[in-house]
């Protein structure tokens, strides 16, 4: 117990933030842009170990909600797609790369904005190959009216795959297999996602079924797709499945599927068997929003929910994950920016930072600079990256590539208590029964740890006088910290007793 006490509450603490750049380059280029203007129609964000390069693009493809960008292992852009066609790095369609959007996609969307299905397309390198890539994509075949909610009268009925051979066509690439239906059912309108197993020898691809709690699970190996099964876990999703985001944790042990209407759904995931288990559903309550995203921190500890005007952080280390929710950002748009970048789809970049796109047309991205850090210390940097062209709605649907196992340490708060605010902090009574009173002149976050160093409670407070109900805690000694952004304003021991 003394060991944990020293780690958490030592007076002199080494500040150490380790960010590991992803070691493989498959996700190093993001192709964005909702214009087909011949001057500047898009943006390419290129990530390198020591820099980020932003280029304008003269692509002819309109990128919308469905977006995938694939690079080779060295980080050179190979191809990209909007769910309707596939283009190479030279912005010319790959050989046989046209007309992959079927049904209502072809008749209503592909001739204008591209597929409107969030995470409706995904590309993966085939394990064991340097030149073969699998492309998974959805159609929009079914037309029907939903009884409730926001009207969008189409649903996918097929998950297709194609194979791109980048060694063919003079190394410009071609789609050598196309439109192979691997799942035929009424499917969710997006949220297609994948993760590697522990040794990188296979990919698991998850595709939710519509109006269901079932997930089609595919296994991609060096031999191709060799396993397909359906598993059912968690809540049954309703009509509203078009918005939101699905994502795996970087360590492959958690799967999240989230939107406002169906809540934050967290599963354990076995990356060796593909099995989901232990579902948790967290309702968002009064935090009303429609457009949203979900993303894990590199260390797999935190889940960030981007919710239109707000960003929330959830701590998977907390004993009560729902109660660990912290508001880490509220949208604050400078007066000189006319197109707001509402918090929407989010993506962990190869540099260990999280980038957040908007809903309607926007030319700025937000950045969570230190996503491994707890609470406000994650540092949400709004309107941090300006793009040369406007983007609409989506970011590329890119799974986790590389190893983030060394990026799990972060504490940007020093343990030197600020003399300016510490005298204004009062925590009482001590011992306490079920309620703890906290008085502070500054907005703060309260953290409570048990004697083993485990975080058992955390909450952000905005008012000066607060009463915290802790009746769920066992009678014991606990340690607390009271922090503001980048500053510790108080710490100590408290005892809960009858």
193 contacts 247 by C-beta, under 8 angstroms: yes
Residues 240 and 366 in one domain: yes
Q: In the chain, how many domains are there?
A: 2
For the chain, 498 residues long, give each residue's pLDDT as a single digit of tens. Answer: 333 333 333 333 333 334 445 558 999 999 999 876 666 789 999 999 889 999 998 888 989 899 999 999 999 999 999 999 999 999 999 999 999 999 999 999 999 899 999 999 999 999 999 999 999 999 999 876 655 545 577 899 999 999 999 999 999 999 999 999 999 999 999 999 999 999 999 999 999 999 999 999 999 999 999 999 999 999 999 888 888 999 999 999 999 999 999 999 999 999 999 999 999 999 988 767 788 999 999 999 999 999 999 999 999 988 899 999 999 999 999 999 989 999 999 999 999 999 999 988 899 999 999 999 988 889 999 999 999 999 988 799 999 987 665 555 564 444 455 544 455 788 999 999 999 999 987 788 888 988 767 778 888 887 778 899 999 999 988 888 888 765 778 888 899 987
Neighbours of 39 (CB within 10 A): 9
Query: Looking at the domain assignment, is residue 377 inside a domain?
Result: yes
Cis peptide before 429 (omega within 30 of 0): yes
Residues 171 and 224 in one domain: yes
Residues 263 and 197 in one domain: yes
Residues 294 and 369 in one domain: yes
Query: Looking at the domain assignment, is residue 407 inside a domain?
Result: no
What CATH number is given to the structural domain containing 478? Answer: 2.60.40.3080
Query: Looking at the domain assignment, is residue 21 inside a domain?
Result: no
Q: Up-side HSE of residue 465: CA atoms within 13 Å toward CB?
A: 0
Q: Which domain holds residue 451?
A: 2-15+414-495
Query: Looking at the domain assignment, is residue 397 inside a domain?
Result: no
What CATH number is given to the structural domain containing 195? Answer: 2.130.10.10
Residues 38 and 9 in one domain: no
Residues 234 and 177 in one domain: yes
Neighbours of 232 (CB within 10 A): 11
């Amino acid at each position: 117990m003394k060991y944990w006490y020293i780690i958490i509450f030592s007076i002199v603490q080494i500040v150490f933030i380790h960010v590991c750049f992803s070691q493989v380059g498959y996700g190093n280029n993001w192709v964005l842009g909702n214009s087909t203007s011949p001057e500047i129609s898009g943006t390419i964000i290129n990530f390198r170990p020591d820099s980020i390069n932003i280029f304008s693009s003269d692509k002819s493809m309109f990128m919308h909600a469905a977006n995938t960008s694939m690079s080779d292992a060295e980080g050179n852009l190979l191809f990209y797609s909007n769910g309707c066609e596939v283009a190479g790095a030279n912005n010319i369609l790959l050989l046989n790369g046209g007309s992959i959007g079927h049904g209502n996609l072809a008749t209503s969307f592909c001739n204008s904005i591209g597929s409107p299905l969030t995470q409706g397309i995904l590309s993966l390198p085939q394990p064991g190959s340097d030149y073969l890539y699998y492309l998974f994509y959805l159609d929009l075949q079914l037309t029907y009216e939903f009884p409730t909610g926001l009207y969008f009268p189409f649903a996918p009925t097929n998950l297709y795959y194609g194979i791109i051979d980048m060694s063919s066509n003079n190394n410009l690439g071609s789609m050598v297999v196309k439109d192979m239906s691997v799942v035929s059912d009424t499917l969710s309108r997006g949220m297609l996602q994948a993760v590697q197993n522990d040794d990188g020898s296979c990919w698991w691809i998850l595709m939710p079924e519509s109006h269901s709690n079932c997930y089609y699970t595919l296994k991609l190996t060096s031999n191709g797709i060799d396993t397909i099964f359906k598993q059912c876990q968690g809540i049954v999703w309703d009509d509203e499945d078009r918005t939101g985001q699905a994502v795996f944790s970087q360590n492959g042990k958690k799967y999240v599927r989230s939107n406002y209407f169906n809540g934050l759904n967290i599963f354990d995931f076995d990356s060796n068997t593909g099995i989901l288990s232990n579902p948790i559903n967290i309702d968002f309550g009064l935090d009303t929003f429609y457009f949203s995203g979900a993303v894990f921190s590199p260390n797999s500890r935190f889940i960030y929910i981007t919710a239109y005007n707000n960003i929330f952080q959830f701590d998977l280390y907390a004993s009560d994950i729902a109660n660990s929710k912290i508001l880490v950002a509220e949208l604050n748009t400078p007066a000189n920016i006319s197109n707001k970048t509402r918090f929407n789809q989010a993506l962990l970049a190869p540099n260990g930072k999280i980038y957040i796109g908007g809903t309607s047309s926007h030319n700025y991205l937000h950045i969570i600079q230190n996503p491994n850090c707890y609470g406000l210390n994650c540092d949400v940097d709004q309107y941090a990256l300006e793009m040369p062209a406007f983007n609409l709605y989506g970011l590329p649907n890119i799974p986790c590539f590389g190893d983030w196992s060394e990026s799990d340490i972060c504490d940007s708060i020093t343990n030197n208590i600020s003399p300016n605010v510490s005298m204004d902090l009062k925590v009482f009574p001590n011992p306490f029964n079920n309620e703890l009173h906290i008085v502070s002149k500054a907005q703060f976050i309260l953290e409570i740890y048990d004697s083993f160093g485990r975080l058992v409670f955390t909450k952000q407070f905005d008012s000066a006088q607060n009463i915290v109900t802790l009746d769920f805690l066992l009678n014991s000694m606990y340690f607390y910290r009271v922090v503001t952004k980048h500053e510790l304003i108080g710490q100590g021991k408290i005892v809960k007793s009858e």
